[in-house]
Amino acid sequence: MTELSKTGAAVGEPTDPTTAGKAFLDVRDLKVHFPTDDGLVKSVDGLTFTLEKGKTLGIVGESGSGKSVTSLGIMGLHTAGQYGKQKARISGEIWLNGTELLSADPDQVRRMRGREMAMIFQDPLSALHPYYTIGQQIVEAYRIHHKVDKKTARKRAIEMLDRVGIPQPDKRVDSYPHEFSGGMRQRAMIAMSLVNNPELLIADEPTTALDVTVQAQILDLIRDLQKEFGSAVIVITHDLGVVAELADDILVMYGGRCVERGPAEKVFYEPRHPYTWGLLGSMPRLDREQQDRLIPVKGSPPSLINIPSGCAFNPRCPYADLPKDNVTRTVRPELTQVGSTHWAACHMSTEQRERIWTEEIAPKL
Amino acid sequence: MLAYLIRRLFAAAVMLVVIVMVVFGIFFLVPKWAGVDVATSFVGKQADPAAVEAIREKLGLSDPIFQQVWEFFKGIFVGRTYAAGGDVTHCAAPCFGYSFRSEQAIWPVLTDRFPVTLSLALGAAVLWLVFGVAAGVLSALKRGTLWDRTAMVVALGGVSLPIYFTGLLSLAIFSYGLGLIDAQYVPLEDSFSGWFGGMILPWITLAFLYAAMYARITRATMLEILGEDYIRTARAKGLKEQTVIGKHAMRSTMTPILTMLGMDLGALIGGAILTETTFSLPGLGQAVLNAIKNQDLPVILGVTLITSVAVLIANLLVDILYAVIDPRVRLS
């Protein structure tokens, strides 16, 4: 299988050191572990992916699958300002535009934060400082990275607020976050993230805290802005509907690892991992006429201290007994190629999975 | 903002009137109901009945309650004339009456002693703010380290040890033992260095207690704020850590600290009884302690009113500051 990985040229698989950093964002074997009194929490345990500029990657998974930890890891926010506490243990490689972030000088990474990589957070009310106006916060974000006077920065802030669709931006720039509605706050947050034209934008559950009607507007906005700025975007969500609208590629995470990765249409229409099937089965669909019940994934997400041996998904997988010799419970499956740029980590044979998907799963969705 | 201010000012004025009435009620009516005769206690137990009667009339103690309150109010603002027979005493505004014991007018006593208490409170406040907040922030940033634990143990000591213990200890060491400081109160107008030398131990003693409380509050608040999402946002913007802490986190941490500061200063201005007594500072606290010992009602009344006004003003300042710091307050 590792042979396949090495030659899987399409997405530049991890084990080839000569291509390190060639992709715009190149994450290799990223591990983020947190030592706690109860044991080592392996929030992310060997994650590899690449992302080119102008493309959108959707990272999907349940709570605790390591999505947010991954994004904070890329931003370097696990190590910045962690006082007194036992720090996160991070290993692997994160290449952004040819710079390896984990071994770089922390101050260099700090200067890249906000300028080359920016982040949109889940709850814009708690993510904006309640005591400063929207304008002050955007101006600050701009002036960290641009040596301009306050007036110029303010103009820029108004321009950005206008761009993200906030009416009367020259007045609203002096409003406080609590004077904005939820959707407006998220727009302001996006304006703040994009004020420095970052090449990488990470949106961590950008619509979870918002009304359904506002969600679509925000997603449209992110898509439009991406086209305009040509940045690479990572959208992190537990909502497959969100990535269906935005993502070029999808990475499905389970228990801190990638279980399936590929182009969005492949992952949606030819998924090759039972967990992805479960996610698709539990997604409400408005484009289907008949759908009696959602099919939930049975059980709960694995403990990240005691990740099940073998395949982490095996206790919840209805097909865990199909592969021979109890291999699902003893050997951890590696990602294997199931299409030209489509990868999945499952012990079942590709043919077996293809058959189960087309005969058993797809008809029920 | 202006409407908010006017509302607060109006509320403060109403509060003041209520306080005067309640305090007056407690100190003049309760003895009456309890069967203690104020006139007798003024004159002395072995006085002849005629003298007691004369005093009763002079102080207006047999007048109806509301008239007494009114006279008292009027005295504060326009002065008051006590008259009984041919014996006429005029008490100029602001008149708080006369001490039962020394027969001095109350107001000059208060104005003499107020600067002592004020300088004690303000000097100590500067010390405890600087050291308490700094220790609290450092402890929060170095949580779980030796520094944090040491600082918190010292703070626990500061909170638990009474002032008459730490005060006497500091006197014993620095003044009597080492002879470094002449712990004698000298008015500021006489000699700055003398005043400073006399105040330094009271300041440190009082500040130690409060610094301990402020360090603990600051640490707890700072730890809570550091976990806020907007602190993560500040880091995600690429801000330097010192800006994240010094600007974003400190701004939020200062809110509860300023509230506490207002309350504490207000209460201390009414007299730091223990500190003033321990160090023999001629402040309001010492005056009120003596007045309580001697059942000198007019002095107690005067000091209580000053304390109330100080707390009210402090409250008002805190409310205004709150609105300046936290934009969400301005709306309500």
Predicted pLDDT of residue A214: 82
The answer for A 56-115 residues in CB contact with B (under 8 A) is: 72, 75, 77, 80-81, 83-85, 110-115
Give A251-288 pLDDT, tens digit per residue.
Answer: 999 999 999 999 999 999 999 999 999 988 887 776 66
Question: Residue B101: pLDDT above 80?
Answer: no
- Tell me if A26 sits within 8 A of A95, measured CB to CB: yes
Contact B143 A85 (CB under 8 A): yes
Lowest mean pLDDT among A41-50, A91-100, A211-220: A211-220
Contact B140 A128 (CB under 8 A): no
Predicted pLDDT of residue A172: 94
Q: Where are the domains of chain B?
A: 2-95, 110-325
Three-state SS at B65: helix
Predicted pLDDT of residue B75: 84
Q: In whole angstroms, what is the distance from residue A40 CA to residue B266 CA?
A: 51
Q: In whole angstroms, what is the distance from residue B38 CA to residue B15 CA?
A: 27
Which band of pLDDT confidence, cut at 50, 70 and 90, is reported for residue A81? low
Give A10-31 pLDDT, tens digit per residue.
Answer: 344 555 777 777 889 999 999 9
Contact A84 B142 (CB under 8 A): yes
Q: Does B252 touch chain A (CB under 8 A)?
A: yes
- Tell me if A257 sits within 8 A of A232, measured CB to CB: no
Helix (H) or strand (E) holding A2: helix A2-7
Considering only CB atoms, which chain B residues are within 8 Å of A80? 235, 241
Which band of pLDDT confidence, cut at 50, 70 and 90, is reported for residue A1? very low
Mutate to test the interface with B, among A68, A82, A83 (most CBs of B within 10 A): A83
CATH number 3.40.1260.10 is the correct assignment for the domain at B110-325: no
Could you give the count of Cα atoms lying within 13 Å of A49 in the half-sphere of its Cβ? 29
Considering only CB atoms, which chain B residues are within 8 Å of A115? 238
Read off the pLDDT of each residue in A202-216 and give the average, rounded to a whole number. 85
In chain A, the DSSP E strands lie at 25-36, 39-51, 56-60, 89-96, 99-100, 117-120, 200-204, 232-237, 249-254, 257-263, 336-339, 342-344
Give B108-147 pLDDT, tens digit per residue.
Answer: 888 888 889 989 999 999 999 999 999 999 999 988 889 9
Predicted pLDDT of residue A3: 36
Q: In whole angstroms, what is the distance from residue B208 CA to residue B205 CA?
A: 5
In the DSSP assignment, the letter for residue A166 is -
Read off the pLDDT of each residue in B191-208 and give the average, rounded to a whole number. 89
Which band of pLDDT confidence, cut at 50, 70 and 90, is reported for residue A5? very low
User: Which residues are registered as beta bridge partners of B80?
Assistant: B91
The contacts of residue A324 (CB under 8 Å, 6+ apart) are none
Predicted pLDDT of residue B5: 79
Number of A–B residue contacts, CB under 8 Å: 87
Share of chain A above pLDDT 70, in %: 92
Average pLDDT, chain A: 87
Read off the pLDDT of each residue in A149-160 and give the average, rounded to a whole number. 95
Predicted pLDDT of residue B52: 80
Chain A residue at shortest CA distance from B146:
A84
Which band of pLDDT confidence, cut at 50, 70 and 90, is reported for residue A291? low
Select from B145, B238, B241 the Cβ nearest to the Cβ of A84.
B145
Select from A72, A80, A83 the Cβ nearest to the Cβ of B142.
A83
Predicted pLDDT of residue A238: 85
DSSP string covering B110-160, please? HHHHHHHHHHHHHHHHHHHHHHHHHHHHHHHHTTTSHHHHHHHHHHHHHHH
Question: Residue B85: pLDDT above 70?
Answer: no
Give A236-255 pLDDT, tens digit per residue.
Answer: 998 888 888 889 999 999 99
Three-state SS at A36: strand
Considering only CB atoms, which chain A residues are within 8 Å of B234? 129
Predicted pLDDT of residue A137: 96
Three-state SS at A237: strand
Higher local confidence (pLDDT), B45 or A326? A326
Predicted pLDDT of residue A289: 62
Select from A114, A123, A176 the Cβ nearest to the Cβ of B238.
A114
Q: In whole angstroms, what is the distance from residue A176 CA to residue A343 CA?
A: 46
Contact A81 B244 (CB under 8 A): yes
Predicted pLDDT of residue B84: 67
Mutate to test the interface with A, among B137, B221, B237 (most CBs of A within 10 A): B237
Give me B286's structure tokens.
């010492």
